[in-house]
């Protein structure tokens, strides 16, 4: 039931954001209507739901048994809100580290390109994430949370908060939220990450502290005429769901063939 409720709530968030980001008062730019590649991103949404199901029903029952005894005992008496705050911070830190790795290593970048291939940044674009990337983002972070003694309720809530925050970050919302940027990532900041010229910046999902510490935070505004997409492949990366799903696997296979030939 909790899984069904989570999917229903997240679907509701997508619908609310889709409405707000198209209102003249809230929007960053006028979005194309009808939305291009709607079927593609609905396909990716199905992938995200499947990844969530794997996480909840396959990985979580195994991960929940992980713990470091002394840390678990120390955490046992902490109030729920303290655990939740720590859970969100730890989850976001692991997500940040995974995100940087997705950009740093060629094999992982081949997978992450799918996410950057969106040409129209809005809430639904959040779903454009390959199944392999979903596993890389959510399994290690949950493993660490269970390892430090977090209960299932805290882990599940931390994941839900990160997912909902991700929808807001990718949205077309253009209202001024600079007042919270010393602590929190905003759509304005994450928008720069999807501009090819600054895609090696602003990796943070919820908190800006990680980018500040690593010197990767860029606070420059994105202009309404700047394009989003895969650096060097804005016009060529496949937009249809099937070719886009297969593309990382083909890139990895081609890379292995090249390495074999070089050897």
SS (H, E, C) the chain: CHHHHHHHHHHHHHHHHHHHCCCCCCECCCCCCCCCCHHHHHHHHHHHHHHHHHHHHHHHHHHCCCCCHHHHHHHHCCCHHHHHHHHHHHHHHHHHHHHHHHHHCHHHHHHHHHHHCCCCCCHHHHHCCCHHHHHHHHHHHHHHHHHCCCCHHHHHHHHHHHHHHHHHHCCCECCCCHHHCCCECCHHHHHHHCCHHHCCCCCCCCECHHHHHHCCCCCCCCCCCCCCCCCCCCCCCCCCHHHHHHHHHHHHHHHHHHHHHHC
Output the tens digit of pLDDT for each of the chain's 263 residues: 578 888 899 999 999 999 999 999 999 999 988 889 999 999 999 999 999 899 889 999 999 998 888 888 888 889 999 999 999 999 999 999 999 999 999 999 999 999 999 999 999 999 999 999 999 999 999 999 999 999 999 999 999 999 999 999 999 999 999 999 999 999 999 999 999 999 999 999 999 999 999 999 999 999 989 999 999 999 999 999 999 999 998 988 887 655 555 44
The predicted structure's pLDDT at residue 184: 98
């Amino acid at each position: 039931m909790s899984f069904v409720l989570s999917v229903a709530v997240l679907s509701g968030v997508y619908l609310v954001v889709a409405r707000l980001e198209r209102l003249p008062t809230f929007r960053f730019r006028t979005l194309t209507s009808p939305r291009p590649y709607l079927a593609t991103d609905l396909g990716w949404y199905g992938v995200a739901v499947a990844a969530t199901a794997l996480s909840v029903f396959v990985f979580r029952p195994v991960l929940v048994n992980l713990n470091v005894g002394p840390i678990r005992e120390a955490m046992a008496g902490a109030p729920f809100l303290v655990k939740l705050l720590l859970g969100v911070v730890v989850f976001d830190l692991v997500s940040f580290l995974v995100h940087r790795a997705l950009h740093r290593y060629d094999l992982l970048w081949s997978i992450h390109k799918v996410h950057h291939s969106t040409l129209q940044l809005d809430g639904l674009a959040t779903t454009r994430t390959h199944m392999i990337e979903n596993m890389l983002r959510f399994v290690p972070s949950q493993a660490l949370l269970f390892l430090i003694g977090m209960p299932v309720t805290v882990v599940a809530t931390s994941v839900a908060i990160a997912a909902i925050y991700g929808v807001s970050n990718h949205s077309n919302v253009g209202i001024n939220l600079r007042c919270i940027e010393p602590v929190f990532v905003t759509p304005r900041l994450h928008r720069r990450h999807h501009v090819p010229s600054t895609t090696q910046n602003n990796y943070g999902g919820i908190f800006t502290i990680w980018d500040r510490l690593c010197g990767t935070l860029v606070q420059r505004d994105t202009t309404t005429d700047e394009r989003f997409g895969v650096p060097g492949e804005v016009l060529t990366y496949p937009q249809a769901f099937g070719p886009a799903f297969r593309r990382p696997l083909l890139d990895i296979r081609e890379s292995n063939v090249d390495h074999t030939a070089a050897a």
